[in-house]
Amino acid sequence: MLSLNAVNTFYGKSHVLFDVSLEVRRGEIVALLGRNGVGKSTTLGTIMGLVPAHSGSIRFGETEILGRKPHQNAMAGLGFVPEERWIFPNLSVHQNLLMGIKPGYFKKTAGSGWTIERAYDSFPQLAERKDQLGGILSGGEKQMLTIVRTLLGNPELILIDEPTEGLAPIIVDRVNALIADINRQGLTVLLVEQNLQTCLRLAHRIYILSKGAVKWTGTPKDLEERKDIRKQYLEI
């Protein structure tokens, strides 16, 4: 569904991604793991078109998308949940959710058929808080709101950047359950995570980044057997 081939990205003169190649197949949860500052968010930003790639290829389905603008990628079926949990603090939860719905005159992507009614049915916590301002939600509720708002755009592939960062353990479990759930309902996921246990539990396949390059890839089971790899690239 998505494949990156030898992608290089710079911020000004600083070379950040080095020949990154990776693949996400339809129906998978693929996790991108690595320490702070190795280029995980830059990889998602480059896919989305928020950070321009210098060279390489990014194919989404049959289409080359490298060089496209973020809104073009969104309309083509890419959903993006950034690390910073962008919500509108002065809009209600309901209004925040409405912002996720793409205008009707755009092509409806295959997506997974999310509507606002289905969102409230599936996530009753949001229904209960429907008229409250986004700004007063807890961190976990904001994260849920951001993810569900993105679902309402009916993406075919969702890119999620460190969704559980800074959340209490019980909320972490809930957000992870949400991700597993939307995947079971048919959505393909590329997930950036720093938590190894979460990746081992949620992901079908894992890529490890270090210093802007892919250093290892395999299944959670493979990684459980590779203490050397975990020690070299993940432990602090």
Q: What is the binding site for ligand ATP (CB under 6 A)?
A: 11, 14, 16, 34, 36-42, 194
Residue 106 interface partner, choices Mg ion, ligand ATP, none, CB cut-off 5-8 Å depending on type: none
- 4 or 152: CB nearest ligand ATP: 4
Question: Residue 40 or residue 129: which is nearer to ligand ATP going by CB?
Answer: 40
The structure tokens 């973020």 sit at: 70
Structure tokens at 66: 């490298």
Stretch that binds Mg ion, among 17-25, 36-44, 193-201, 203-211 (CB under 5 A): 36-44
Strands 157-161 and 213-218: unpaired
Contact between 116 and 153 under an 8 Å Cβ cutoff? The reply is: no
Give 84 or 224: the residue with its C-beta nearer to Mg ion.
Answer: 84
Q: Give me the least distance between CB of 62 and Mg ion, in Å please.
A: 29
Which of ligand ATP, Mg ion, none binds 217 (CB below 5-8 Å, type-dependent)?
none
Contact 138, 190 (CB under 8 A): no
Q: In the bound complex, what is the minimum distance in angstroms from residue 38's beta carbon to Mg ion? A: 9
Gap between the terminal Cα atoms of the chain: 33
Burial of 113 (0-12, 13-18, 19+ CB in 10 A): exposed
